[in-house]
Copies of this chain bind each other. A is one copy, B any other.
Amino acid sequence: MKYSFNVVMTCDGCKNAIDRVLNRLGVEEKTISLESQEVFVITDKPYDAVLETIKKTGKEVRSGKTIE
């Protein structure tokens, strides 16, 4: 599955935090853009599991969607 989330990130530390928690969840294919505030993920994990993991970083998740 491919998911995209708009997450408020304001520095590389924010970006790295998202990267780290997704790694821990077992998500290996991802692109995180500080510029576009986008977290793009390819994984077999359910959408809600990925969303919850991102939310637990304390970052604001503005929106999220399943792409395919």
Contacts and interface: CB of A to CB of B under 8 A. Distances in A.
Interface of A: 8-14, 16-21, 56-59
Copies of this chain held together in the complex: 2
A20 B20 CA distance: 18
A19 B60 CA distance: 12
A66 to B, nearest CB: 23
Which of A12, A14, A19, A58 has the most CB atoms of chain B within a 10 A radius of its CB?
Answer: A58
A16 B9 CA distance: 11
Contact of A17 (B12, B16, B20, B57): B57
Contacts of A11: 10-11, 13-14
A17 B18 CA distance: 11
